[in-house]
Amino acid sequence: MDAAVPPPTPSAAGYPAVFELDRADRIANWRPLVHWLLIIPHAIVLGVLGLVAEVVSIVAWFAILFTGKLPEGLGNLIGLYIRYSNRVNAYYMFMREEYPPFSFTDTPPDPGDYPAVRTSFEPVYEGRNRLTTVFRFILAIPHFVCLAVLGIVAFFATIIGFFAVLFTAKWPVGIQDFILGVLRWNTRVSAYALLLTDEYPPFSME
C-alpha cells in the first residue's frame, strides 16, 4: 500500500540547488556487503569528473571575474558533476537498490533517468557578483568546517545503518534523515563553491 512507502526526502525550499531522494521501503539485506564493490566503476568516473569540475570552476572563476557572466556550458558541466556525485553516494550508502546509469546529461533540471535520486539546479549565468566570486572559497570556509564535522558523524551513522540494513533490511529513519540532510547541505555548498550561484547557502540540513 502507498501508506507503507516512506515519503520523498524534502528539499530546501528556494535555494537554486535541490537534492531529493525517494526512500526505499526495504533494502535487500545483502546490499551493504556488495555496494562498495559494485560502485567501483562509478567511483572511477566520478574521480575523473571531479578533476574536470575543478578545472572548469577555475575557468568559470576567471570568466565571471572579467565578464560578469558564467558561460552556460561551464555551469552545466559543474551541475553534471554534483548530480553524478549525489547518485553515486545514494547508491554507495545502499539507500537505493537500482544501479545508477552512466549518464552525462548536463541540463540544469534533473533528466529523470535515475528517478529515485534527483538533483536539479537553477544556475545564474548573467549579472554575477564579481566581489563574492573573488572571495568565494573564503566565504565558503564556515560551510566546509561544518560539513567536515558532519561528515565524520555521517561516517559513523553509516556504519550503524550498515548493520541495521544487514539485519533488518531497513534504515533507521532518524539516522537516514541525518545522512540525507548532510547530502542536501553538501549539494547547496557545492553549487555555491563551484560558482553555479551567488546566493549564500543556508546552514541547514532541510
Q: Are 102 and 48 in contact (CB under 8 A)?
A: no
- Rg of the chain over all Cα atoms, to the nearest angstrom: 17
From CA 116, how far away is CA 180, in angstroms rounded? Answer: 13
Confidence at residue 2, expressed as pLDDT on a 0 to 100 scale = 35
Instruction: Using the CB atoms, write b or e for 102-115: b if 16+ within 10 Å.
Output: eeeebebebeeebe
From CA 14, how far away is CA 122, in angstroms rounded? Answer: 10
As averages over each run of 10 residues, the pLDDT of the chain (206 residues) reads 38 82 92 91 96 96 96 96 96 93 94 95 95 95 97 95 94 94 96 96 93
From CA 187, how far away is CA 90, in angstroms rounded? Answer: 13
Q: What secondary structure does DSSP assign to 131-170, as a single string?
A: HHHHTHHHHHHHHHHHHHHHHHHHHHHHHHHHHHHHHHSS
Confidence at residue 14, expressed as pLDDT on a 0 to 100 scale = 84
- Cell 546509469, located at residue: 101
Confidence at residue 126, expressed as pLDDT on a 0 to 100 scale = 94
